[in-house]
Amino acid sequence: MMNLRLIEPDLIVDLNALPLDYIHRVDGHLVLGALVRHHMLEEREEVRAYCPLLSEAATFIGNVRVRSLGTVGGSLAHADPAAELPMASLALDAEFTLQGPEGRRTLPAAAFFRGVFETALEPAEILTEVRVPIRGPREGWAVEEFSLRAGDFAIVAAAVRLRLGPDGRVELARISLAGVAAAPLRVPEAEDALVGTAPDPDRIERAGRRVAEGIQPESDVHASASYRRHLSYVLVRRGLRKAASRALGEGAA
């Protein structure tokens, strides 16, 4: 941020000494301290096994040097509209713990992101912890991204989570996107249309189209609105296919 001349702070408080780089498994959730590094999401066995969507999202973040130092809390609190972890946190129904002088509160990811670099954090609050549900049986996931070069900001990225019932029909669907609005967003109309159906190619195709219709991306120097809409359709369709096949056969990753 400073190197890009986006901010010029008078004072910097280094949070790195806080004991917040833990990863715990509690009551069906993975609980991550805000200082868990991106490379830990990629490499730590408990994250790969219990929340593979997070591990997969982390592989798209910046480059290996960024992943050495970048933190989960930092990425979420920064709230770049094209970033992977804010998008992933929506698809995961993550919960954030915020702490400030008034005490501690928890907030669902959906209520946290407000706009470009804007969140629900009060000026004296920091994000200290993230809770994500552990992957259940018959649950598939996928993270898809399109950027001009490896490590660039995403033009559009999509995170998808599908849980199937014993009958093979969708019990829960989550579709979230980055790069198509001022904040990451979910597309509930497309999610709802999948619930109760078998995730066959036809349904998936329709869900992708619904996503493209349900968003209002803007044009900028990197991509036009219609190109972003098209990418959203392609990436969601691709993600849903992968998520469905992972949900059906555990090893089909």
Chain residues binding other proteins by CB under 8 A are 3-4, 10, 12, 14, 16, 39, 59, 62-66, 68-69, 150-151
Task: Give the nearest distance from C-beta 61 to other proteins in angstroms.
Answer: 11
CA distance 217 to 123: 29
Measured from the CB of residue 64, what is the shortest distance to other proteins in angstroms?
A: 5
- Residue with smaller CB distance to other proteins, 49 or 69: 69
Comparing CB distances to other proteins, the nearer of 68 and 106 is 68
Q: Residue 113: name the closest of 52, 178, 210 by CA.
A: 178
Q: Is the CB of 66 or the CB of 182 nearer to other proteins?
A: 66
For 169, the 3-state DSSP assignment is coil
Q: Nearest distance from residue 15's CB to other proteins, in Å?
A: 11
Q: How far is CA 47 from CA 22, 55, 143, in A?
A: 12, 6, 15
Contacts of 197 (CB under 8 A, 6+ apart): 169, 170, 203
* Closer of 67 and 135 to other proteins (Cβ): 67
Q: Nearer to other proteins by C-beta: 1 or 198?
A: 1
Kindly give the interhelix angle for 201-214 and 225-248, rounded to the nearest 10 degrees: 150
Q: What is the closest distance, in whole angstroms, from the C-beta atom of residue 67 to other proteins in the complex?
A: 9
Closest separation in Å from C-beta 176 to other proteins? 24
Contact between 157 and 175 under an 8 Å Cβ cutoff? The reply is: no
The residue with tokens 């991106």 is 38
